[in-house]
Copies of this chain bind each other. A is one copy, B any other.
Amino acid sequence: MIQCPRGTRDFLPDEMERRRFYEGKLRETARTFGFREVETPIFEDSELFILRSGPNVLKELYEFKDKGDRSIALRPEMTAPVIRMFVNNMSNEPKPIKVFYFGQCFRYERPQSGRYREFFQFGAEIIGSATPQTDAEAIATASAMLKSLGLKDYRLRIGHIGVLRQRIADIGVPKERTAEVLQKLDKKLYDEARPILADMGVSDADMEALFELTETVGGTEVLDRVPGEAGDWLRQVVSYLDAMGVRDLEIDLGVVRGLDYYTGMVFEAEAPALGAEKQICGGGSYTLSELFGGEKVFSTGFAVGFDRALLALEKEGSSYDFDGIDAYVLCVSDDVRVKAAEIAASLRTAGVSADIDFMDRKMAKALKFASSARARYAVIVGARELEEGCVTLRNMATGEQTQVEIDALAGAIVRARAH
């Protein structure tokens, strides 16, 4: 039996309906904040992702040669494609450009809880603006999205990559080795960082002060301890967020994010319920366009890990009510089947979602099917009632049955739905 490839998933109707419901919430929030949707191809020139993340990214990519011997890769994320799209097609549009996207991304790695080879990201980018308010807008949007899902327990942590970068430069780390140090700090691997820093001639005191800075975590009051321009910037971001009602946040200078391309503010949201794979959202301000052949343009963006966010909702016991259909049309006897088809068609034309038995089932079996299809009403078509221009309308929840004129059927169902 052929299965779906390892690390990928099939979404059956119940699961799919639930996913679309939550996707709709994110979509609605993005639109309310003035973002508009874009879409890019599932695969790109591999070079795009190498330029963004360095050649090491190849290990994790679904990369292959097409029949024209071009190296292409399934997208591992969507910021690089969106910025490529901006450079190709949107660079002359009025700034800022606020776009959102939702779709599959791909990473070749060991599948585990909350980590799939095909996964879904919902993200947003604000392109062409570099103000504290831009950063606040991105964070406020992300925060509103998580709230719109109904997620209760999550932590929003905001940092600034400039603080650590400045300190690292000040204590004598050469520019080309900054990434190496940041990587260790990102994972709080101080014991591994010590010999590296020592090798660069960094003093023990400077090292410990650097680690302490990385551990600067707390409410917005810790901003008083954040030095220089980065501190001023973050204080402005936080004051805008406060005005926008986003106050459930922490300052954490240890938020480094894996990637080299962030230039200033960085932020993450995590859902503690998820354990080791708890990060459900991440973003920050960056420049990428100049790497893809465009002018240098400052942007701020983020992405919500859709699968993990849904997993977090599940762990919180968040429940979702399935939709079902309005009506299921079934026949008392075979001679009314054509008429039943006509009735189903008239319901659908009136906007009533209706299914119909076309497997010639007996009534009891057909009613059972109507129930499994979560129909709110069964429309029972019988020869005797038809003579009077009527059918029997059965409320599937209560079992109550009433005789209804065919012409009044759609109206009766729509009215009941409104209550």
Contact = CB atoms under 8 A, between A and B. Distances in A.
Interface in A97-128: 98-99, 104, 106, 108, 118
Contact of A16 (B38, B81, B95, B345): B38
A131 B353 contact: no
A88 B4 contact: yes
Contacts of A36: 13, 16-17
A417 interface: no
Nearest to A99: B13
Interface string A28-55: 0001111011111111110110010000
B354 A34 contact: yes
Interface string A227-240: 00000000000011
B40 A2 contact: no
A194 interface: no
A129 to B, nearest CB: 5
B42 A144 contact: no
Interface of A: 1-6, 8-13, 16-17, 19-20, 31-34, 36-45, 47-48, 51, 62, 64-68, 70, 72, 74, 81, 84-85, 87-90, 94-96, 98-99, 104, 106, 108, 118, 129, 131, 133-134, 136-137, 140, 144, 239-240, 243-245, 292-294, 325, 328, 337-339, 341-342, 344-345, 348-349, 351-356, 358-360, 368-369, 372-373
B348 A43 contact: no
A293 B2 contact: yes
A interface majority secondary structure:
mixed
A326 B394 CA distance: 43
* Total copies of the chain: 2
A36 to B, nearest CB: 4
A12 to B, nearest CB: 6
Contact of A85 (B12, B31, B98): B12
A359 B337 CA distance: 65
Contacts of A48: 2
A6 B38 CA distance: 19
Contacts of A134: 358-359
